[in-house]
Structure 1
Amino acid sequence: MGLKTVKLFSLLAASSLSGCYSVGPDFVPPTPGLPAVSFFGKPTPAVPPNPPFLPAAPDPHWWATFRDPALTRLEEEAVATNLDLQTATVKLAESRFQRGVTASAAFPTLNGNATYTRELLSQNGIVSLGKALTNGQPFVVPPISIYQPTFDAAWEVDIWGHVRRQIEAGDAQIHLSEDQRRDVLVSLLAEVARDYIELRGVQEQIAIANDNLKSATEIMELTRARVEKGLVTGLDVENAAAEVESIKAQIPQLHTQETVQMNALALLLDEPPGSLEGKLARAKPIPPAPARVPLGIPSELARRRPDIRQAEAQLHAATADIGVAVAEFYPSVKLNGSVGFNSLDLKNLWKGSSLQYTFGPSISLPIFEGGRLRSTLELREAQQQEAAIAYQKAVLQAWHDVVNALVSFRNEQKRREALKAQIGHSAQALTLSRARYVDGVTEFITVLNAEQTLFAAKQQYAQSATNVSTDLVQLYKALGGGWETTLPTEPLPSIVSELGPE
């Protein structure tokens, strides 16, 4: 088969991709059904001055709102080095390669073969029949050489869109892999921010515990001085000493949490345990949440959330698979051809008289498959229904995630303010109780209770401040923020080069 025939096959393949009918349903993007104005499913009431939530779309680099350079550096390093993200990137490359394998079925296949055979026929075999032509004399056939180069081509005409639907499903799988990678990226960015904020929160609690230890030690020394003066009994000293030891017992546990958080960040950055101590051991304030947070329009959530986009891509692929199953019911038409040269003498091999070829179409019609085709179609239709339900659940889950994050963020802010006020009152109560204890007006138990209340309030406030910031991180994650059009490039070539030749 010559070059002209190959070109003809390619033109027919291209025309089949554009002009033939594709059986099965065409994919129509589903409607998410999210509210258009408020995530709470009702019109927004009168907007107060400086509302905490803004209609503007969230910034893809939302972690910059915390104004913490260390956090920003960690986010950048995580995107460049995280192993889960690299795995998702390789899986995306795999889906693209798989799509290429599928798309190859739309074009002709051309194979070249060349054979050389040296053959000697048996004198007692079919050659012996030649004795009748030579009056019983031996009929001798010398050894012969057969030279035969050939080119074989075949192409299935995609009349019903069997291959085109497979390519469509392959494209949907690529989009699915892209959104899976985006989902990994969104989760990674949120996890880095959460671990970093919790690390700073633990360090804040360590500082508070050390301050509390200092204050409790001063109170213990005060009670000892009063015992030496005979003003109180040793019971006050023991109670004060017990409080000191109670605070000391909290500090090692907090240091353990600090190490765990550092190592969690190191794992996200593909670093060994303890590698971030030099960068993060020095305590810094908890990154504060901004006063106003952009949320965007609820109806746009489906375009931002990678999991919703994954569900839509899965539904698209399932719909295309129905078309593939429907096309199996129709006859398949193939064009087959073979061209080559055959000669017993090498010097005559490339002469026109040595040319031989075959060409012709073939048709295959399924008549009886034992119910395989019908069952396959019903299976694909059921899988499409499953994908549609999964899409609906993904949208509903996203809506719940955003509302829960909004409520948690807003209520934790109220709790933080109440704890801040409690600290002020508890500090004043401790000051007054100490003064009255020194004056001998009240018992030490009053001082001890006031001390414990203040210490607990400070720890709770630090935890609440941490929760406010981590709740904001969760809100940004629920909104699907934290990725852009440009993502890390596929590291496949470097990985293959590291593996080396087989």
Structure 2
Amino acid sequence: LSGCAVGPDYVAPTTQFAPFHNTITADSQRSTTPPPRLDNWWTGFNDPELVTVVQRALAQNLDLKAAFARVQQARAAASGAGAQLFPTLDLNSTATAEHQSLDSPLGSLAKATSPGYSRDQREYTLGAAASWEIDLAGGLRRNAAAARDEAAAAEADQLGTHITVAADAADAYLQIRGLQAQLAVTQDQVDTDVHLLELVEVRQRAGAADEREVAQAEALLKQARAVVPTLRTALEAQLNRLDVLMGAQPGTYARELSAPGTIPAVPAIDDRVTPMDVLRRRPDMIAAERRLAASNERIGAAISDYYPKISLSGALGFDSTSPNHFLSAQAFQPIGSGALRWRLFDFGKVDAEVAETRGANAEALMQYRQAALKATEDVENAFVALSQTETRLQELQGEVASLTRARDLSEHAYKAGAITLTDVLDADRQLLVARDELDGTRADAARAAVTVFRAFGGGWDVPPDSRVAEAAQTAVT
């Protein structure tokens, strides 16, 4: 009967893309090593604390657990749809005791025709019944195939959640390290400004500085201290975000990350990957392709309603009014039946159902193509963001080195009376801004690398014989 299935056979859509026009051009990419495997890219940052954070999030995240529960539901639905192809067998047994009313139609008739009629009646039944719908047009098979495709899509969605959780946990961690570095820079600046204020006050007492210079130094100190609350607020928000990603109440793991750590260096990333490689690996593409396949199967299931449906049923059992003869040959009662149902006229209901499934298939195809475009957009944007951020990082490193030298020379010149305090304050302010931007950009570069790995679809690994692995082979043809 498998050759009798009606409806269109699924053909995976063809997708052709030119190579990515953006590349990663930063010099730092040539001085670092890539992660050993794309599915555990976070190890490439060479930060044990980052590895711990990501692994803890993957083990405890509640969104990931919910995604797994959705996979279990989809698998159960697919199993139930597949079971519709086979016969069902039921075992039934009843024991009935009845005291017949003499005023009922049956009681009145029995009382008139049978003077010795007994109002107490007993009936015992035992038997097995089987039923089976013969899938002539393949509607049940189409529905079963669609359910399997939906289950594969749910598995791909779970892997997509896996990627998102890993990337979000790494992003929060990198922001925490960046904010801690900015706080350290700000504190260094506060210490420097305290030292400068003390120097101005000494010069004032010696008559070499006036009250205006003291007020300027005090304002600069307060300006540096005013940055601290903003940074601490942002740091607390990321610590709380990371705790929630790890499935814990905010504040649970904050102490472990309270000690400042270095911002990890960006690992080398192979930008020679092709769009086809990315599309085959990204779970959102696999899910979109499986949903497209499922929508195609639904068309066949709807078309099958144009054709007759045949079902067979039968029962073997015993029916007796006396327990003494319950399992005897005379109580044996077999039943067999066949049924034919053919929808001949329904005011266009089947036509509407077929049109609806075709429309859903067309929508799924557009969603698949849109997902492919979005995937390539993610990679292009991630490439340019990483390249430009690392370029900016290199320029800021040179700027900080120059401003540090200028700041030190300005302070020496001010002590010697060669320049005014305003020149020292300007140099100090420029250095504070540059150092703050440097640490923020260093964290941004690491976060941009995380975005690249996310765009690649990295962060999952499945056995080659799994349903998702099979779907990945047909996601892009």
TM-score, normalised relative to structure 2: 0.90
Question: What residue number does 2:281 align with?
Answer: 304
Paired residues, number: 458
Q: Residue deviations 1:252-303, cap 9 Å, x none?
A: 2212222222111111111222221321111110011024545533211112
Partner of 1:40: 21
Q: Distance in 2 between matches of 1:317 and 1:51?
A: 45
1:63 aligns with 2:42: yes
Alignment counterpart, residue 306 of structure 2, candidates 318, 329, 348: 329
Q: Does the CA contact (< 8 Å) of 2:95 and 2:123 recur in 1?
A: yes
Give the residue type in structure 1 aligned to 2:326: L
Assess if the C-alpha contact under 8 Å between 2:159 and 2:460 holds in 1. Answer: yes
Counterparts of residues 194-273 of structure 1 (less than 5 Å) = 194-273=171-250
Residue among 82, 87, 98 paired with 2:77: 98
Give the partner amino acid of 1:277: A
* Preserved contact between residue 56 and residue 294 of structure 1 (Cα < 8 Å): no
Instruction: State the secondary structure of the residue aligned to 1:106.
Output: coil
- 1:162 maps to 2:145: no
Aligned: 1:348 with 2:348: no
CA distance in 1, matches of 2:447, 2:257: 18
Deviation, structure 1 residue 126: 1.9
| 1:149-201 deviation line (CA, Å, top 9, x unaligned) | 23322111011111101110110011111011001000000011111111000
Equivalent pair of 1:55/1:295 in contact (CA under 8 Å): no
Taking the aligned partners of 1:428 and 1:55, their CA distance within structure 2 comes to 35
Q: Which residue does 2:387 correspond to in 1?
A: 410
Aligned-residue CA RMSD (Å) = 2.5
Where 2:340 maps in the other structure, the secondary structure is strand
- CA change 1:24–1:301 in 2 (3 A) is same
Q: Quote the residue 1:378 is aligned against.
A: 355
Work out which of the residue numbers 22, 26, 37 in structure 1 matches 2:5. Answer: 22
With over 3 angstroms needed to count, the CA separation of the structure-2 counterparts of 1:108 and 1:310, relative to structure 1, is same
Post-superposition CA distance 1:347-377 (Å, at most 9, x none): 2221222222221321101012222111111
Q: Could you tell me which residue of structure 2 aligns to residue 84 of structure 1?
A: 63
After superposing the two structures, state which structure 1 stretch, 260-269 or 447-456, moved more: 260-269
Letter in 2 for 1:103: G
Inter-CA distance 76–486: structure 2 relative to 1 (3 Å threshold): farther
Contact 1:343 1:354 survives alignment (8 Å):
yes
Q: Is the 8 A contact 2:203 2:209 kept in 1?
A: yes
The aligned amino acid for 2:88 is T
SS in 1 for 2:414: helix
Q: Deviations over 1:18-76 (max 9, x none)?
A: x45211111112223233xx3128xx999x99869999996211111100001111111
SS in 2 for 1:342: strand
Classify 1:214/1:305 alpha carbon distance in 2 versus 1 (closer, same or farther; 3 Å).
same
| CA pair 248-81 structure 1, distance change in 2 beyond 3 A | same
C-alpha distance in 1 between matches for 2:316 and 2:455: 62
Which secondary structure does the structure 1 equivalent of 2:311 belong to? strand
- Conserved? CA contact 2:35–2:43, under 8 Å: no
Specify the SS of the correspondent of 2:167. helix
CA distance in 2, matches of 1:141, 1:465: 99
Which whole-Å CA distance do the structure 2 matches of 1:478 and 1:20 have between them? 41
Question: Deviations along 1:362-418, whole A, 9 cap, x unmatched?
Answer: 110101222211111111100000000000000000100000000010001111111
* Distance across 2 between alignment mates of 1:45 and 1:209: 32
Shift of 1:128: 5.3
1:61 is paired with a residue of what secondary structure?
helix
Aligned residue among 97, 104, 111 for 2:90: 111
Residue of structure 2 in register with 1:400 after alignment? 377
CA distance in 2, matches of 1:198, 1:336: 66
Equivalent of 2:116, from 131, 140, 150?
A: 140
Query: Aligned to 2:423, what secondary structure does the other structure show?
Result: helix
Classify 1:129/1:291 alpha carbon distance in 2 versus 1 (closer, same or farther; 3 Å).
closer
Among candidates 113, 127, 137, match of residue 110 of structure 2: 127
* CA contact 1:266–1:275 (8 Å) conserved in 2: yes
Which residue number in structure 2 is paired with residue 10 of structure 1?
A: none
Please, which runs of 5 or more residues in structure 2 have no aligned partner? Answer: 465-477
Q: Could you say what secondary structure the match of 2:123 adopts?
A: strand
Asked if the contact 1:315–1:387 (Cα under 8 Å) also holds between the matched residues in 2, the reply is: yes
Are the structure 2 counterparts of residues 64 and 45 from structure 1 closer, same or farther at C-alpha, using a change threshold of 3 Å? closer
SS at match of 1:377: helix
Is the Cα contact below 8 Å between 1:112 and 1:151 reproduced in 2? yes
Write the letter of the residue equivalent to 2:193.
A
Q: Which residue of 1 aligns with 2:295?
A: 318
Report the residue type matching 1:22 in the other structure.
A
- The change in CA–CA distance for 1:293 and 1:208 in structure 2 (over 3 A counts) is farther
Contact persistence 1:78–1:268 (CA under 8 A): yes
Distance 2:81 2:36 in 1: 38
Deviations 1:414-442 (A, max 9, x none): 11111111112211222232233223232
Q: Deviations over 1:457-502 (max 9, x none)?
A: 0000001101100000001001100111169xxxxxxxxxxxxxxx
In the superposition, relative to structure 1, how do residues 326 and 239 fare at CA in structure 2: closer, same or farther (>3 Å)? same
In structure 2, give the amino acid aligned to 1:105: Q
1:448 & 1:56 partners in 2: Cα distance? 44
Deviation at 1:107, TM superposition (A): 1.4
Secondary structure in 2 aligned to 1:433?
helix
Q: What CA deviation, in whole Å up to 9, does each residue of 1:86-128 have, x standing for no partner?
A: 1101110111111122122111122222233345474972235
Q: Which runs of 5+ in 1 are unaligned?
A: 1-15, 131-137, 488-502
Take 1:52 and 1:25, find their aligned partners in 2: how far apart are those partners?
53
Write the distance in 2 (CA, Å) between the matches of 1:422 and 1:45: 23
Structure 1 residue 388 corresponds to structure 2 residue 365: yes
In structure 2, do the counterparts of structure 1 residues 228 and 128 end up closer, same or farther at CA, with 3 Å as the change threshold?
closer
- Give the conservation status (yes or no) of the 8 Å contact 2:29–2:267: no
Question: Normalising by the residue count of structure 1, what TM-score does the alignment of the two structures yield?
Answer: 0.86
Is the deviation greater in 148-157 or in 280-289?
148-157
Q: Which moved more, 1:282-291 or 1:84-93?
A: 282-291
| Larger mean Cα displacement after TM superposition, 438-447 or 59-68 | 438-447
CA distance in 2 between partners of 1:166 and 1:57 (Å): 42
Residues of 1 paired with 2:147 and 2:357: CA distance?
A: 15
In structure 2, C-alpha distance between the alignment counterparts of 1:91 and 1:202, rounded to whole Å:
37
Identify the residue that residue 167 of structure 2 maps to in structure 1: 190
Counterpart amino acid of residue 237 in structure 1: V
Q: Trace 1:401-480 onto structure 2 (pairs within 5 A).
A: 401-480=378-457
